[in-house]
């Protein structure tokens, strides 16, 4: 059974550090990483944690301490990874629609780079030729992922170089002597079906013979974790077995041994995170019972933005009578976390916990309505440490400049 923080532990942390508070469980992250390593033990696989899911530097340091690499989506994330102590060779930068200047900065920092446009590929080739190995992000025209907003590999997607342009890539490789070491795809987030990954592998295997310098197939992220009670995530063992079968078979038939890279975000941190809020107001309106919490779309936007399900429990009254609630936020917009949800009886002042809050929770938080972002606490070795203090009005004013009247 995976490790979880108990209601008691969560309430104690909320009482100590106040709410709203994001709580992360280091050992749970380690557990997820170990699952991956174990499932892929038969093939040469390296995992780069997609840190866009959660970048608190203490989380990055923990990820480093367990031996996992890191995948970044901006040069700022690359800088954070360096500050957390990752050496450049353990950092991957998978860019999307960025300026060539940012790619040059990443190159100066010495990290692995996946380039996702023909124009940047051409500039890179002209400037660096064969001297610096790179990856290319391809759009494999595969529809996958939990919903359209988080699907990235289909034929209308902005991501990657369309497969139809492969001849242009080959032309650039010839003309500028590009050193293409990696073929990358990332088809979407929350991909449950192992066959989707198999399809991606098949597309890439069909291209390998064009690339004499190729050493790595990077399959991106997108592993699904369960959000609803009873729901299943990606079968990691089945995926590991399938990938091993494909790559071992490919090596036998072509003599080419390739490394496999993955960039898991949600899989690493989603279940390790909890958002604990306090109930400000209970409001009855006709049949609807509203529980209004001291949080909102400014702290956890996933339910409103993607229609995502986050399981909610009342940790102050775990054994109370089950009643249906609309759990809503305190932002001046309709920020509904959950509709018609069965939760043990909620009283004003109770603590509600939102599960699966580790990935894309705090990371997508904002100061909308000039409200403060939550504090963050890391639980490691049974000790709770504040890793981001609560904000003050000064923080909100910090970058503003009072113009002369
Ligand atoms: N690699 C690349 C190139 C990506 O774009 C992403 C996510 C990942 C890896 C990690 O994907 P994951 O393993 O976390 O599914 N905010 C959305 C998810 C957006 C994902 C963006 N790219 C959400 O909360 O559902």
* Residue 26 included in any domain: no
Q: 221 and 283 share a domain?
A: no
pLDDT surpasses 80 at 58: yes
Does some domain include residue 1? no
**pLDDT for res 155:** 83
Q: Which pLDDT score is estimated for 2?
A: 78
Q: Among residues 264, 289, 317, which one ends one of the domains?
A: 264
Is the pLDDT assigned to residue 401 strictly greater than 80?
yes
CA-nearest residue for atom 8, ligand 1, is 221
| Residue 66 sits in the same domain as residue 202 | yes
Statement to judge: residues 283 and 224 lie in one domain? no
CA distance 69 to 262: 10
Asked if the model's pLDDT at residue 143 lies above 80, the reply is no
Given this model, what pLDDT does residue 153 score? Answer: 79
Cα–ligand 1 centroid distance for 343 (angstroms): 30
Residue 92 has a pLDDT of 98
User: Do 321 and 250 fall into the same domain?
Assistant: no
Are 256 and 284 in a shared domain? no
pLDDT at 73 over 80: yes
Average pLDDT over residues 363-369: 98
Taking 80 as the threshold, does the pLDDT of residue 283 lie above it?
Answer: yes
Residues annotated as catalytic (active site), given as ranges: 332
Q: Kindly state if the Cβ of 292 falls inside 6 Å of ligand 1.
A: no
pLDDT of residue 182: 98
* 314-348 pLDDT, tens digit each: 999 999 999 999 999 999 999 999 999 999 999 99
Residue 46 lies in a domain: yes
Contact 371/11 with Cβ under 8 angstroms?
Answer: no
Q: How confident is the model at residue 151 (pLDDT cuts 50, 70, 90)?
A: confident
Q: Is the pLDDT of residue 93 over 90?
A: yes
We report the CATH number of the domain holding residue 313 as: 2.40.37.10
Same domain, 188 and 61: yes
Give the mean pLDDT of 188-197. 88
Q: CA 174 to CA 136: how far, in whole Å? A: 15
Give residue-wise pLDDT tens across range 221-277.
999 999 999 999 999 999 999 999 999 999 999 999 999 999 999 999 999 999 999
**Ligand 1 geometric centre to CA of 188 (Å):** 7
Residue 404 lies in a domain: no
Question: For the chain, how long is the longest CA-to-CA vector?
Answer: 74
Q: Which atom of ligand 1 is nearest to the CA of 53?
A: 14
Is the CB of residue 106 less than 8 Å from the CB of residue 113? yes
Is 29 domain-assigned? Answer: no
Asked if pLDDT for residue 359 goes beyond 80, the answer is yes
- Cβ 50 under 6 angstroms from ligand 1: yes
The pLDDT-based confidence of 172 (bands split at 50, 70, 90) is: very high
pLDDT of 77: 98
Residue with the bigger pLDDT between 154 and 199: it is 199
Q: Is the CB of 338 under 6 A from ligand 1?
A: no
Q: Which of 264, 288, 315 is the last residue of a domain?
A: 264
Query: Are residues 260 and 361 both part of a single domain?
Result: no
pLDDT above 70 coverage of the chain, percent:
100
Is the same domain home to 77 and 200?
yes
pLDDT of amino acid 84? 98
> Could you tell me if residue 2 is inside a domain?
no
Q: Are residues 76 and 115 in the same domain?
A: yes
Write down the mean pLDDT value for the chain.
96
Q: What is the mean pLDDT of residues 368-372?
A: 98
- Cα-based torsion angle of the residue sequence 36, 57, 279, 290 in order, rounded to the nearest 10 degrees: -60
Is 388 a residue whose pLDDT tops 90? yes
Asked if residue 144 has pLDDT above 80, the reply is: no
Question: DSSP letter string over 61-112?
Answer: HHHHHTT-EEEESSHHHHHHHHHTT--GGGEEEE--S--HHHHHHHHHHT-E
Number of domains into which the chain is organized: 2
Whether 217 and 204 have beta carbons less than 8 Å apart is answered as yes
Q: Using the predicted structure, report yes or no on whether residue 79 has a pLDDT greater than 90.
A: yes
First to last CA, the chain: 62
Whether 305 maps to a domain, the answer reads yes
Percent over 90 (pLDDT), the chain? 91
Residue 257 shares a structural domain with residue 288 = no
> Which pair of tokens denotes residue 198?
């198999």
User: What CATH number did the domain enclosing 153 receive?
Assistant: 3.20.20.10
Shared-domain flag, residues 346 and 257: no
- Asked if the structure places residue 196 within a domain, the reply is yes
Domain interval for residue 71:
40-264
For residues 344-369, average pLDDT:
98
Give residue 160's pLDDT band: very low, low, confident or very high (50, 70, 90).
confident
Q: How far is the CA of 43 from the centre of ligand 1 (A)?
A: 24
Residues 211 and 308 in one domain: no
Ligand 1 lined by 184 (C-beta under 6 Å): no
Residue 66: pLDDT over 90: yes
Last residue of a domain, one of 264, 284, 312: 264
Confidence at residue 158, expressed as pLDDT on a 0 to 100 scale? 84
Does residue 221's CB lie within 6 angstroms of at least one atom of ligand 1? yes
């Amino acid at each position: 059974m995976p490790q979880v923080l108990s209601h008691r532990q969560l309430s104690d942390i909320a009482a100590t550090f106040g709410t709203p508070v994001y709580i992360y469980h280091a050992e749970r992250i380690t557990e997820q990483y170990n699952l991956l390593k174990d499932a892929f033990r038969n093939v040469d696989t390296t995992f780069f944690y997609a840190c866009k899911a959660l970048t608190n530097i203490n989380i990055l340091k923990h990820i480093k301490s367990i031996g996992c690499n890191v995948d970044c989506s901006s040069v700022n994330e690359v800088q954070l990874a360096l500050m957390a102590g990752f050496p450049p060779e353990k950092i991957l930068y998978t860019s999307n629609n960025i300026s060539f200047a940012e790619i040059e900065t990443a190159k100066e920092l010495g990290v692995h780079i996946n380039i996702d446009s023909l124009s940047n590929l051409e500039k890179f080739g002209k400037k660096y030729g064969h001297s610096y190995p790179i990856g290319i992000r391809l759009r494999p025209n595969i529809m996958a992922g939990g919903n359209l907003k988080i699907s990235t590999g289909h034929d209308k997607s902005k991501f990657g170089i369309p497969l139809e342009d492969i001849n242009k890539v080959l032309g650039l490789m010839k003309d500028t002597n590009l050193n293409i070491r990696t073929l990358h795809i990332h088809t979407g987030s929350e991909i449950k079906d192992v066959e989707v990954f198999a399809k991606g592998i098949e597309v890439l295997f069909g291209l390998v013979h064009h690339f004499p310098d190729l050493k790595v197939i990077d399959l991106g992220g997108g592993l699904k974790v369960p959000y609803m009670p009873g729901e299943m995530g990606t079968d990691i063992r089945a995926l590991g077995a399938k990938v091993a079968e494909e790559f071992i078979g490919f090596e036998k038939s072509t003599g080419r041994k390739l490394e496999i890279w993955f960039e898991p975000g949600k899989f690493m941190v989603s279940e390790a995170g909890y958002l604990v809020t306090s109930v400000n107001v209970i409001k009855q309106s006709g049949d609807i019972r509203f529980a209004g919490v001291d949080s909102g779309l400014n702290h956890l936007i996933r339910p409103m933005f993607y229609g995502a399900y986050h399981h909610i429990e009342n940790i102050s009254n775990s054994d109370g009578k089950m009643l249906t609630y609309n759990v809503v936020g305190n932002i001046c917009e309709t920020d509904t976390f959950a509709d018609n949800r069965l939760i043990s009886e909620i009283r004003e002042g109770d603590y509600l916990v939102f599960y699966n809050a580790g990935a894309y929770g705090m990371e997508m938080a904002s100061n909308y309505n000039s409200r403060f972002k939550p504090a963050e606490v890391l639980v490691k070795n049974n000790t709770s440490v504040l890793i981001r203090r609560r904000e003050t009005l000064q923080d909100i004013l910090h970058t503003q400049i009072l113009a002369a009247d």
